[in-house]
Amino acid sequence: MRIWGTLLCTVGVLLGSIPMSLAASGKGNPTTGQKLYLESCQNCHGPAGKGDSEMAAYLTPAPANLTLKATQEKTDAQLRKVIQEGRPGTAMIGYAAAFDEEKLNDVMAYIRSLKP
C-alpha cells in the first residue's frame, strides 16, 4: 500500500498536480504532529496555526501564520531548518534538541495539513 501511495505521489509531481514540497512531506503522522504542535507551538502560533495566540500580541515580529501560502510553499528543507534552528531576531527558538527526526516529521506533516 505504501508503494502505491509513493507511486501516486511521484506521478502527481511529474504531472504538476502536486507541488514537490508537499509530496515530499508524506513521512510524518499529522495526528501525532498535532499533539506535539499543541504542546510546543500553539502558545505563539495559536491553536490553528494562524499566528493569533494571546501571546502573539506581545511578540515583535508577530509569529508566522502557518496557514499562509508563503509558509506552505516552503520546501521541506526550509521548514525543517526553521523548526530546528529557529529564526534570529524573532521569538522562534530552535527545536533541534526537543524534536528527534520522527517528531520533526510529525510536526511538519501537521503544519502541511494546515494549508488553506
Within-domain flag for 19: no
Within-domain flag for 12: no
DSSP-H helix ranges across 52-100: 69-72, 76-85
Q: How much is the pTM?
A: 0.76
Within-domain flag for 5: no
d(CA 100, CA 105): 9
| pLDDT digit string, tens, across residues 51-108 | 999 999 999 999 999 999 999 999 999 999 999 999 999 999 999 999 999 999 999 9
CATH assignment of the domain containing 33: 1.10.760.10
Within-domain flag for 107: yes
From the list 80, 79, 75, the residue with the least C-alpha distance to 20 is 75
What is the number of domains present in the chain? 1
Within-domain flag for 20: no
Within-domain flag for 6: no
Within-domain flag for 87: yes
